[in-house]
Amino acid sequence: MSNASLEGIRVVELARVLAGPWAGQILADLGADVVKVENPKGGDDTRHWGPPFLTGADGENLGAAYFHSTNRGKRSVTADLRDPEDQEFVRQLVAQADILIENFKTGGLEKYGLDYESACAINPKLVYCSITGFGHSGPYASHAGYDFIIQGMSGFMSITGEPDGQPMKAGVAIADIVTGLYAVSAIQAALIHAMRTGKGQHIDMALLDSQAAILSNQNMNFLATGQSPTRLGNFHPNISPYEVVPTSDGYLILAIGNDGQFQRLCKILGADDIAADPRFATNRDRVANRSHLRERLCGATQKFERSSLLDQCKDNAVPAGPINSIGEMFDDPQIKARNMRVELDDGRGTKIPGVASPIKMSETPPGNARPSPRLGEHNDEVRAELRKLEGR
């Protein structure tokens, strides 16, 4: 018997690609029964976003690795929303659900009778979460939203990359992912409200809103000065030295957050002259003179092997770290100790590799028992459950 936090909570996922499925995957990790509704002709787009693809023990194509990154723990059913019978099937799912997640364009579900007003009429306690590029209000409400474009529009790319290079996007679809994370917080808050009052509500999540919100100190740097921050490469706009530095055999990260750490770093480097230079006495001074500081620091760090300098920083409470490849990350003893790499048994002789939920809970830990589903794998199972619930 499961003791997961969201055991007994039913979720209908009418979402594709990443932001909505990311939210659904987190809810599944926490124990919710997430039923992913997919088009019978191909399913979620990300099933085809490869290579690489995963292969079953019998040679079966299990779809793109991308799909498996964001759909573990779910059940898959197929429905063509243009078909009246399939529309009715989805409405039956909605009637029994606690949560619905969708990422259709604004107004896109009205013609199927699955918009918020229609769903609320079926199930007044339903928590209905819409995820779009720009939200359901404002001049861009009808526009399609794509993560890459949102990263550009939000200002994120204007502060990412080298000063004399191109603006850069993040290495993952960060706007999608953070919107999914924010969506889960909103969904769970709305679920508590629904449990208290019996009344659901509409959650309107926008990628642009979420991406704008996470610019944190950079937003406040602008609001405090009226000047837009610019790209600084690996420099930090407010702290120095907080950057990548070279060693004799590679690079590492220094993340110096206060004057004491800076003094200890200089002692490790044998750089008393840097420590004594009034241009670097305080963080304010170091930020103002970061180019001069970098030249002096790099001259000192290049005399060390990376592992030796990292060890000395660790021993002297100076924040520093390696720059791992993803393979090195998975091989890191801390990642191994936290059991962040998992293999999920599909029940057909195949172990699906995956990443564990990062959420650690003492009483109701997330589970990872179910791998990402095959397209329509649970059609019969879910339909039989509906018939039972309806007494047919």
Residues annotated as catalytic are: 176
With CA atoms as reference, report the closest residue to 306 among 253, 235, 265, 241: 253
Helices (H) and strands (E) in the chain, counts: 16, 13
Q: Would you say 114 and 93 are in contact if contact means Cβ atoms under 8 Å apart?
A: no
Report how far residue 210's alpha carbon sits from residue 258's, in angstroms, rounded to the nearest whole number.
Answer: 30
* Residues 156, 326, 71: CA angle, nearest 5 degrees: 75
Helix (H, G, I), strand (E, B) or coil at 5: coil
- Answer positive or negative: Cα dihedral of 4, 348, 329, 52: negative
Report how far residue 61's alpha carbon sits from residue 50's, in angstroms, rounded to the nearest whole number.
Answer: 12
DSSP 279: G
Q: Would you say 99 and 130 are in contact if contact means Cβ atoms under 8 Å apart?
A: no
* Residues 251, 253, 255: CA angle, nearest 5 degrees: 160
267, two tokens? 């002692």
Amino acid at 205: M
| φ and ψ of 267, to 5 deg | -65, -45
91, two tokens? 């409405």
Cα 25 to chain center, whole Å?
10
Q: Please give the C-alpha separations between residue 71 and each of 75, 182, 386, in angstroms, as whole numbers.
A: 9, 18, 22
391, two tokens? 């007494």
- Beta strands, E only, the chain: 10-14, 33-38, 53-55, 61-64, 74-78, 99-102, 127-132, 201-206, 242-247, 250-255, 320-322, 341-345, 351-355
329, two tokens? 């990350």
259, two tokens? 């004057």
Helix (H, G, I), strand (E, B) or coil at 2: coil
